[in-house]
Structure 1
Amino acid sequence: MSKRLSDAGIRVVCLEQGDWVHPTQFPHFHDEWEIEKYRGWAFDPNMRQAPEDYPITGVTSPRLMNVVGGSTVHYAGHWFRYKPVDFRKGTEHGLAGTIDWPISYEDLAPFYDINDAEVGVSGLAGDPANPPRPMRHGPPIKPGNGGRRMAEAWNKLGWSWWPTDNAILTRGHNGRQPCNSCGNCLSGCPRGSLGSADVAYWPQAIRNGVDLRTYARVESILVEGGRATGAVYIDRLTGARHEVRADVVVLAANGVGTPRLLLMSAQKGHPDGLANGNGLVGTHLMHHCWSFADMWFEDPIEGYKGAIGCSVHSQQHYDTDPSHGFVNGMTMLTLGSFGAAYSAMGTHTAPPEPWGAEHRAAFNRHFGHHVVSFMQGDDLPVITNRVTLDADAKDSSGLPAAHIDYALSDNDIALAEFGTERLREAAEAAGAVETHMTGPMHPPPAWHLMGTCRMGNSPADSVTNAVNQTWEVPNLFITDGSSLTTGAAVNPTSTIGAVAVRCAEYIKANHQTLLSQKRTPSNAEALALW
């Protein structure tokens, strides 16, 4: 948003409660780099307990970073797009609060293209399971022995597969270096090869003149006369409060942080939180459903060499099949392996290697012989899966924590059980000599935070309209994972970025109209303005 709006000369102030992460702060430079990834660099803010973090209570512990670039600074870079069917799940089955998106894949496709070009995506054109799209910036990441092994297994089973798009450079881009195959993407990338927002977008935004204020923790969004007027933030270094005035306010604090801030912004005329007159802020939280499989082979795999990101995937079971007894589907992914310490700890599913005399023989059987594959399922948007405030826990500025209630639906569990059996079939087809599996994970790993301020068709079913304007406040926009109407069966980062690009282009095209708009237009009116 900051980069695209400032391209047009619009003055942008961005409030970020964290700070920049310098490349030397990544775990790569720590003597215990593999342990540090799960300590000071942990995905879970409740484990890090850094001053920029806020506590999260409840069932799941979301994986998020409160720094410039957000959670992209340590993601795997998987760069899937949603499929056309994902935008019309309300029509397809309409279960448990599922609604159609107010836009289609075709509406979003040009903005996927823009976002891909900004980030620099590796991949291979021609996937018959998805709509056509432009050539990627560089060729796909190397599959390694593990990727090839899984592709061969899927071939044996008659399942379709394709090399995966990744926001990992295989060719230099805008001064960023290509991947050197160090295999430590989840610890961030000090080379800038990983397409994190701090290297892909922020340098140009800063050159455009964006006023990025770090250590600026937003306390509330202000509203007067039915319009947002700006925000109050706390300077975390001094504790002082400041007010920023703005003609348009954009909220992009992730699927947990955004509803938290809207609920904290309760004020006169908005007693239950901002944009929450219909009570839907924070509801319909989606994480995806998961099952993991660790497989070991007699021959060397050396999965610790190369990018950790998914090299090949299968969407053979992506679409709803009524004969299965559940709706929605899944993607099966293959990752690179982690390092020696993680292998010794059992990787994702197995017990740690024995301590003592038997350790070396067990370690030698496992390290370098490992493939991890998992199913990622499309969980239903359920109204009781939600984010609320917890006043009994507070962040370092004294603001209330976020609280999460989340439970897999029976449909999600059936989908994950089906996926577990497919993982078992794939392991056997691949010739694994040892396999450990999680089965359906409950609670699931909360890597993806979606749906809590979703786009929709009217104020009765959503928080924002088709161009991300909140129904109650016409100059307040939401562009992050919370705005996604459904979760699909793929990683959401590419879609979050495309939605944000589209919204930025709408604001640019209608900037003068937005300055005087007294009410939020209907979807038909908004698209007519577009």
Structure 2
Amino acid sequence: MSTSADETDVLVIGAGAGGAAVSKRLSDGGIKVICLEQGDWVNPMTRPHTYDSWELERVRSWDWRTNARHAPEDYPVTGNAAPMMMAGVGGATLLYAGAWPRFKPVDFRKGTEHGVEGTIDWPISYEDLEPFYAINDAELAVARRVGDPGNPPRPEGWGPATRGGSLGNTIGAGFNRLGWHWWPADNAILTNHRSGRLPSNDCGFCLSGCTRSSIASADVTYWPRALNNGVDLRTNARVERINVRNGKATGAVYIDRLTGAHHQITAKIVVVAANAIGTPRLLLMSAQAGHADGLANANGMVGRHLMFHSWAAEDFWFDRPLEGFKGVETAVAYSQQFYDTDTRRGFVNGFSLQVGTSLGAANSALGTNTGRRAPWGREHRDYFADHFGRHALIQVQGEDLPVATNRVTLDSEEVDSSGLPAPHVHYEIHENDRRLVEWGRAKAIEAAHASGTVVDTASTGVRGISEPAPGWHLMGTCRMGNTPEDSVTNKWNQTWELPNLFITDASSLTTSAAVNPTSTLQAVAVRAAEYIKRRFPDIVGQTMTPSNADAPDM
């Protein structure tokens, strides 16, 4: 039973990328917001690369996978995936490297393009979302080089693109020799000072967090301004159930993880942003009278169409130094030459080739990205001298199809530290996606050999075939769509069933594209927040089923 109760205009569940953006943008308009986060603040000085053993600690005590960390704020995930998640203020942005590509216009109309395996068109276009991409980029201070001929125009960044160095120039020259499109990558990483945040020092350890606040994680971008606006952010607050009465969400019950006490929040609007595993989990856990199968799930769509990215990593070592241990860890350049569907290849959709860096000496000796370890004994020094600093990574990032049977359900036995049911993930890579990545691997190899003399190679193969699926980009499961039959929310991220319940994380993404999703999920969240601000009285008073009708300005 609840031991205390509070009231607010909007209750936001989750303090990660989507929840932070919504909380800040709503509070800009004077709307009272309470945000519940099951984790806590993370002190940046605890991040692994502040001490000498950072390369070991980032895969040990600071593991990216929730099932490997076993922290009390985490919840276990059963099934056949290895999701990268983080409970804490900033969510998974505490673990990301700041890669900042946008979806392309074609990504919003894949239903029209091919319609394979339940793929549908988004209810919005790139042009609808572009103003909100721009707002979000400005909030985060994105670094970029404008003028990419392969994408729509973008505004100037806060600073120039992050450095590509010898590595980027070498692989870029290979792309040029092949006549392939390529461009320096956009990154949500500072290259100029911004509001107490320092520009990147090119240390290269981005996925271990950033003690300089150079990476635009939500805890150092949206949250300081949201708190200054008066947002009530409650940490260590694990939501047990969203309450519903008379066809509308009325708030939620949460558990204080530190004391075990139950608390209740009543709200006029509820926004869920708990990631593409946590959000369907919470909706399914909130089954109650009138919603026997969970909230917003009368059509059985909640939890379905889970997407990661089909993926392969190709390591190459050249006959000369590339100094890939300098610069940002995320992509320094990309090629989208093979992004669009061409069915003559034997599959639909396409992929990006991302040029990545190689980290430090220990990582090089331990196999870089693909397990090519330096031998023990007298051969070690010669191997290391021939490999360290001469490495290039080309990642094949392919678009996952939104397959209905790839889904999140509730586990019948496993529970978290609060006794709540764990989510269960079932994911199988589609044959189309397997063919796509295999074809992409051949193109990565072609690009490397066009770039210079390659003396050694190694590969992960296609992730998700013989090992757990690569769950670091979690998408789908509560997708937005065109009708109550094909989706969970409408074009404004408003659930079809409950007019005052919104979903603003990557679970709302209709398709996965062949690029990192964070810039798009945050742009979608900003757009939803602006809609809620503009239509707040109407949403609160709405009793009928939401539609996709355009909302007039107020």
Which interval holds the TM-score relative to the shorter structure?
A: over 0.9
Show CA shifts across 1:104-133 (max 9, x none). 000000000000000010011111111112
Please identify, of 299-308 and 99-108, the stretch whose mean Cα deviation from structure 2 is larger: 299-308
Query: Quick one: which of 50, 54, 59 aligns to 2:75?
Result: 54
Identity, in percent, stands at 61
Matching residue's letter, 1:287: F
Matching residue's letter, 1:461: D
Query: Quick one: which of 523, 528, 533 aligns to 1:498?
Result: 523
**For residues 204 and 343 of structure 1, what CA distance do their matches in structure 2 show?**
40
Please give the secondary structure, in 2, of the residue aligned with 1:103. Answer: coil
Please give the secondary structure, in 1, of the residue aligned with 2:116. Answer: coil
- The answer for the alignment partner of 2:470 in structure 1 is 445
Instruction: Say if 1:287 and 1:446, in contact at 8 Å, map to a contact too.
Output: yes
Matching residue's letter, 1:255: A
- The answer for the alignment partner of 1:312 in structure 2 is 333
Q: Structure 2 matches for 1:73-472, cutoff 5 A?
A: 73-430=94-451, 431-442=453-464, 443-472=468-497
Instruction: Say if 1:386 and 1:452, in contact at 8 Å, map to a contact too.
Output: yes
**For residues 115 and 520 of structure 1, what CA distance do their matches in structure 2 show?**
30
Tell me by how many angstroms 1:529 deviates. 6.7
Tell me by how many angstroms 1:182 deviates. 1.0
Tell me by how many angstroms 1:424 deviates. 1.3
Show CA shifts across 1:416-468 (max 9, x none). 11101101111211221111122222244111110110000011000000100
Instruction: Say if 2:80 and 2:469, in contact at 8 Å, map to a contact too.
Output: no
Matching residue's letter, 2:208: S
Instruction: Say if 1:449 and 1:482, in contact at 8 Å, map to a contact too.
Output: yes
Show CA shifts across 1:149-169 (max 9, x none). 110111111111011100000
**For residues 478 and 276 of structure 1, what CA distance do their matches in structure 2 show?**
13
For structure 2, which runs of at least 5 residues remain unmatched after alignment?
1-21
Question: Quick check: 1:486 aligned with 2:511?
Answer: yes
Tell me by how many angstroms 1:366 deviates. 1.2
- The answer for the alignment partner of 2:10 in structure 1 is none
**For residues 507 and 425 of structure 1, what CA distance do their matches in structure 2 show?**
49
Instruction: Say if 2:397 and 2:514, in contact at 8 Å, map to a contact too.
Output: yes
Please identify, of 229-238 and 434-443, the stretch whose mean Cα deviation from structure 2 is larger: 434-443
Instruction: Say if 1:427 and 1:435, in contact at 8 Å, map to a contact too.
Output: no
**For residues 264 and 529 of structure 1, what CA distance do their matches in structure 2 show?**
36
**For residues 528 and 505 of structure 1, what CA distance do their matches in structure 2 show?**
12
Matching residue's letter, 1:36: E
Tell me by how many angstroms 1:208 deviates. 0.3
**For residues 290 and 139 of structure 2, what CA distance do their matches in structure 1 show?**
40
For structure 1, which runs of at least 5 residues remain unmatched after alignment?
none
Please give the secondary structure, in 1, of the residue aligned with 2:353. Answer: strand
Runs of 4+ with deviation above 3 angstroms: 526-530
Please give the secondary structure, in 2, of the residue aligned with 1:198. Answer: coil
Matching residue's letter, 1:459: P
**For residues 23 and 528 of structure 1, what CA distance do their matches in structure 2 show?**
43
Tell me by how many angstroms 1:519 deviates. 2.3
Tell me by how many angstroms 1:31 deviates. 3.6
Tell me by how many angstroms 1:374 deviates. 0.8
**For residues 119 and 156 of structure 1, what CA distance do their matches in structure 2 show?**
35
Tell me by how many angstroms 1:520 deviates. 3.1
Tell me by how many angstroms 1:30 deviates. 3.3
User: TM-score under structure 2 normalisation?
Assistant: 0.94
Please give the secondary structure, in 2, of the residue aligned with 1:234. Answer: strand
Please give the secondary structure, in 2, of the residue aligned with 1:364. Answer: helix
Matching residue's letter, 1:355: W
Show CA shifts across 1:451-486 (max 9, x none). 110000011000000100001110000000000000
Please identify, of 319-328 and 6-15, the stretch whose mean Cα deviation from structure 2 is larger: 319-328
Question: Quick check: 1:515 aligned with 2:540?
Answer: yes
Matching residue's letter, 1:17: Q
- The answer for the alignment partner of 2:17 in structure 1 is none
Tell me by how many angstroms 1:528 deviates. 4.8
Tell me by how many angstroms 1:360 deviates. 1.4
Please give the secondary structure, in 2, of the residue aligned with 1:116. Answer: helix
Please give the secondary structure, in 2, of the residue aligned with 1:451. Answer: strand
Instruction: Say if 1:469 and 1:520, in contact at 8 Å, map to a contact too.
Output: no
Tell me by how many angstroms 1:522 deviates. 1.2
User: TM-score under structure 1 normalisation?
Assistant: 0.98
Show CA shifts across 1:48-77 (max 9, x none). 000000001111111111110011112111
Please give the secondary structure, in 2, of the residue aligned with 1:247. Answer: strand
RMSD: 1.1
Please give the secondary structure, in 1, of the residue aligned with 2:306. Answer: coil
Instruction: Say if 2:308 and 2:475, in contact at 8 Å, map to a contact too.
Output: yes
Please give the secondary structure, in 1, of the residue aligned with 2:382. Answer: helix
Instruction: Say if 2:352 and 2:514, in contact at 8 Å, map to a contact too.
Output: yes
**For residues 147 and 303 of structure 1, what CA distance do their matches in structure 2 show?**
9
TM-aligned CA distance change 1:215 to 1:472, over 3 Å: same
Please give the secondary structure, in 1, of the residue aligned with 2:396. Answer: strand
**For residues 432 and 72 of structure 1, what CA distance do their matches in structure 2 show?**
34
Matching residue's letter, 1:492: P
**For residues 51 and 41 of structure 2, what CA distance do their matches in structure 1 show?**
18
**For residues 521 and 32 of structure 1, what CA distance do their matches in structure 2 show?**
53
Instruction: Say if 1:389 and 1:402, in contact at 8 Å, map to a contact too.
Output: yes
Q: Structure 2 matches for 1:18-33, cutoff 5 A?
A: 18-33=39-54
Please identify, of 100-109 and 340-349, the stretch whose mean Cα deviation from structure 2 is larger: 340-349
